[in-house]
Structure 1
Amino acid sequence: METDKGVVLATERYGSAESWKYVSNDGVMERRRDGSEGHSGGNSVFGVFKSVFLPQGYPESVSDDYLQYQFWDTMQAFSSSLSGTLATQASLRGVGVGNQEATVAAATVTWLLKDGTGMLGRILFAWRKGSKLDSEAKKWRLFADVLNDIAMFMEILAPYFPACFTFIVCTAGIFKSIVGVAGGATRAALTFHQARRDNMADISAKDGSQETLVNLAGLLVSLILIPLVTDNPVLTLCLFFLFTVLHLFANYKAVRSVVMETFNEARLSIVLQQYLKDKRILSPPEANQREPVFFEFGQTVPIKLGVRLQEIAQSPEDLQLALKENSMPYLLGVRNGCVCVCLGPEASVSDEIRAMCQAVVLSNMLSSSNSREATGAAPKQQKGHWEMVHKSHKLMDAIFNPLLKGAEAAGWDMRRTLIDWDEWRVEWKTKSS
């Protein structure tokens, strides 16, 4: 068949979208599209859409979960845009737009106070929680969107409480500033996960284009909604709750669709617990499906990573107990009902993973022995804690290497982690040294 049309000299393709072949025909090299010749119009329209709104090289240049995440992210952005319109209208009415008795100075002061408290909230939140946004990106992403809905609800209600209007909008401004920090930072973490060709900038730019398109659609719908909801608080609240439900559902589906191949505390704990149960290594999709996306409080013994030596050893005897049966570049101990891990400066990524696994094992031991309330002051309790530490060392010696090899074979990225270590690093001396 090829001899009738000519000899194929070369083939080429643009990503996975189209393929072409170069054919020699009577001494002339012709370029032909592979496949049907009659669908180029539809393909060209789709190609233009892809080049405008999707990263170059899609789908090979992004993670497998990119399209599903972006679909739900688009849905939540659209519903959030409509909710924001209702909140903005309420805020403008609250500061005096449309009220002849309101003064420009009073409205300006209210708006400045709102912006000022928001700036302070942004700085304080980034200071207190900035290091958590990488390791728990899913949780903080969902938290940001829930907090955003609460802030918009407060702005809608604020005009009906004129005596407390300034306080309410300032509180909402603080919430929205936290949303800005948490949402932006976690979006950067998710973009890093999605980038497969060091193309973070391209993915971020195309995400901005998608969001702009969604906001334009939201703007058109808002032009229809505003005349309907003006001076109609019941309809305003009903539409707001409808958009909020859609917004939260889409956000939940979005974070649930993300499949990260790097370990954080939650995913590593899930994989370890399953391995201890039946020696099976969970794949990244399985572990991500089980990973909690809401914050949990008071369910397990707390774990502190990268602490000072003083958190573990209060005396030379404590230090020797911490070093007993331990040849690893980290130390474990129990203090005030918390499992504390002290990291050495030469610890590798696998050492950090092992330390976290051992801390989880020790936390489970403490939980099963009902010792969460222990303060570490009683000598018997302290001795029992060190026995648990030594037992956890022996357990990790037996299971860690098979666990590490199995996790790498299951598709986990063992070159880096998202475990949230503090910056303390300690060099200790053993008896031999």
Structure 2
Amino acid sequence: METEGAVVLATERYGSAESWKYFGKDGVMDRRREGSEGDSRGNSIVGVFKSVFLPQGYPESVSKDYLQYQFWDTMQAFCSSLSGTLATQASLKGVGVGNQEATVAAATVTWLLRDGTGMLGRILFAWRKGSKLDSEAKIWRLVADVLNDIAMFMEILAPYFPAFFTLIVCTAGIFKSIVGVAGGATRAALTVHQARRDNMADISAKDGSQETLVNLAGLLVSLVLIPLVTDNPVLTLSLFFLFTILHLFANYKAVRSVVMETFNEARLSIVLQQYLRDGTVPSPIQANQKEPVFLEFRKAVPIKLGVRLQEVVQSPEELNLALKENNTRYLLGVRNGCVCVCLGPDASVHDEIRAMCQAVWLSGNLGAQSQLHERHWEKVHKSHTVMDTIFNPFLKGVEAAGWDIKRTLLDWDEWRVEWKTKSN
């Protein structure tokens, strides 16, 4: 139907992907798509692919870094799938598959021991590091993949050390259990970041579809690889190291592509330090590019948030010193080389951000004097003065730069303390 002389009755669109118009002419209503119609078949195929593997409403329904992250995540999953094939073949060979002298009972015991130690490792790791997986999602995402590669390398080597086979595969099982907890939890944390329409379930489901497609592709490639690497340890190790390098590179690029707009300790420290240097507030993209993604085993002056009162003060005199500024929302102190923050029950998110900023400033200014107890409270009182001067304009600058200050990913413990504003 020609549109000449027709009247546009209505327009509609499907997200940003498609736009349609309804025309009325001679009592007939016709619906036509805007734009070129020559590649409608191609658009239809692309549209089906998007609906199957991408969240509904893409790209508006997800964060801006979604596509880049998913591309690198897909690459690492493909490499991991191929490495996993090599490791599985080695494990099966180690428990006796293809060996007529091997017994079913021995293989079963080895498998049960591996699974049992893995279960214990999963529980212990979740207990010790569960709270860190939200605040340090990028770091633990990368740690999980490094441990996964180490575990697979151990499984490949295990058959060549038959006397220690069970010990090696059990250790690898512990590593893989940590991978399961850290990988799954950090993926959930990243899904929360990516979901912009409370569509976490849809994003998670489509991520599962993408992973299944990648694993299917890895399975097809593995069918070609297995005959080549069987009884060829040199080729097995060579391919494993190739896939591992690609896997780690893709993982690094994936976590580097994530741009979180909420503060954790590292991002807040980066933003605050730049503000103190030159009065400017870096955007989320700039701060995320500088955020460390590798595990730090030791910090000069670590910060502990949400601690018990006795970790900040241990005498009425020290409590008087801590309350000198009449701050009723949080208390700061230095104990055993750590900056400790005690939080009040009525503290808001802004109070938490201010307390963390003050702790970051204090941590950076203790330096070599961290062992001089009498200087601690001088530094604490000076940090209050600094925050009184800079915090409000800093918070306005942070909000203007695009940071989300309605919530944080700061690693607060659960202790909350009520105290009198003045100690007798």
User: Which range, TM-score by smaller chain?
Assistant: over 0.9
Provide the C-alpha distance between the structure 1 equivalents of 2:99 and 2:218, rounded to a whole number of angstroms.
Answer: 27
CA deviations over 1:289-334 (Å, ceiling 9, x no partner): 0000001233420111000000111111100100112424000000
Provide the C-alpha distance between the structure 2 equivalents of 1:64 and 1:404, rounded to a whole number of angstroms.
Answer: 24
8 Å CA contact 2:331, 2:341 repeated in 1: yes
CA deviations over 1:104-154 (Å, ceiling 9, x no partner): 000000000000000000000000000100000000000000000000000
8 Å CA contact 2:10, 2:22 repeated in 1: yes
Provide the C-alpha distance between the structure 1 equivalents of 2:39 and 2:240, rounded to a whole number of angstroms.
Answer: 43
**1:234-245 to 2 correspondence within 5 Å?**
234-245=234-245
SS at match of 2:20: strand
RMSD over aligned Cα atoms: 1.1
1:365 shift after superposition? 1.1
8 Å CA contact 1:326, 1:393 repeated in 2: no
Residue in 2 that maps onto 1:110: 110
Provide the C-alpha distance between the structure 2 equivalents of 1:431 and 1:22, rounded to a whole number of angstroms.
Answer: 72
Provide the C-alpha distance between the structure 1 equivalents of 2:337 and 2:111, rounded to a whole number of angstroms.
Answer: 46
Provide the C-alpha distance between the structure 2 equivalents of 1:6 and 1:234, rounded to a whole number of angstroms.
Answer: 72
Match of 1:371 among 369, 377, 380: 369
**Which one-letter code corresponds to 1:348 in the other structure?**
S
8 Å CA contact 1:23, 1:30 repeated in 2: yes
Residue in 2 that maps onto 1:291: 291
Residue in 1 that maps onto 2:30: 30
Provide the C-alpha distance between the structure 2 equivalents of 1:227 and 1:3, rounded to a whole number of angstroms.
Answer: 62
TM-score, normalised via structure 1 length = 0.96
Provide the C-alpha distance between the structure 2 equivalents of 1:50 and 1:403, rounded to a whole number of angstroms.
Answer: 41
Provide the C-alpha distance between the structure 2 equivalents of 1:237 and 1:328, rounded to a whole number of angstroms.
Answer: 61
Structure 1 position 173 matched with structure 2 position 173: yes
1:27 shift after superposition? 1.6
Residue in 1 that maps onto 2:254: 254
Residue in 2 that maps onto 1:97: 97
Residue in 2 that maps onto 1:404: 395
Provide the C-alpha distance between the structure 1 equivalents of 2:245 and 2:324, rounded to a whole number of angstroms.
Answer: 55
Provide the C-alpha distance between the structure 2 equivalents of 1:237 and 1:3, rounded to a whole number of angstroms.
Answer: 65
8 Å CA contact 1:86, 1:240 repeated in 2: yes
8 Å CA contact 1:337, 1:371 repeated in 2: no
SS at match of 1:280: coil
CA deviations over 1:342-377 (Å, ceiling 9, x no partner): 00000000000000000001001112xx034x2xxx
**1:325-344 to 2 correspondence within 5 Å?**
325-344=325-344
Change (3 A) 1:97 1:409: same
8 Å CA contact 2:263, 2:409 repeated in 1: yes
1:243 shift after superposition? 0.1
Structure 1 position 387 matched with structure 2 position 378: yes
8 Å CA contact 2:87, 2:152 repeated in 1: yes
Residue in 2 that maps onto 1:378: none
**1:16-415 to 2 correspondence within 5 Å?**
16-367=16-367, 370-372=368-370, 374=371, 381-415=372-406
Provide the C-alpha distance between the structure 2 equivalents of 1:253 and 1:423, rounded to a whole number of angstroms.
Answer: 34
**Which one-letter code corresponds to 2:274 in the other structure?**
Q
CA deviations over 1:264-290 (Å, ceiling 9, x no partner): 000000000000000000100000000
SS at match of 1:431: coil
Provide the C-alpha distance between the structure 1 equivalents of 2:407 and 2:300, rounded to a whole number of angstroms.
Answer: 25
**Which one-letter code corresponds to 2:359 in the other structure?**
A
**Which one-letter code corresponds to 1:400 in the other structure?**
F
Unaligned runs of 5+ in 2: none
TM-score, normalised via structure 2 length = 0.98
Provide the C-alpha distance between the structure 2 equivalents of 1:165 and 1:331, rounded to a whole number of angstroms.
Answer: 53
Provide the C-alpha distance between the structure 1 equivalents of 2:5 and 2:117, rounded to a whole number of angstroms.
Answer: 73
Provide the C-alpha distance between the structure 1 equivalents of 2:78 and 2:190, rounded to a whole number of angstroms.
Answer: 20
**Which one-letter code corresponds to 2:353 in the other structure?**
I
**Which one-letter code corresponds to 1:212 in the other structure?**
T
1:237 shift after superposition? 0.2
SS at match of 1:35: coil
SS at match of 1:4: coil
Q: Between the two proteins, what is the percent identity of the paired residues?
A: 84
CA deviations over 1:1-47 (Å, ceiling 9, x no partner): x9824111110001111100011111211111111222211110000
SS at match of 1:371: helix
SS at match of 2:56: coil
Provide the C-alpha distance between the structure 2 equivalents of 1:312 and 1:57, rounded to a whole number of angstroms.
Answer: 49
Provide the C-alpha distance between the structure 2 equivalents of 1:99 and 1:83, rounded to a whole number of angstroms.
Answer: 23
How many residues in Structure 1 have an aligned counterpart in Structure 2? 423
Unaligned runs of 5+ in 1: 375-380
CA deviations over 1:72-116 (Å, ceiling 9, x no partner): 000000000000000000000000001111100000000000000
Provide the C-alpha distance between the structure 2 equivalents of 1:121 and 1:361, rounded to a whole number of angstroms.
Answer: 37
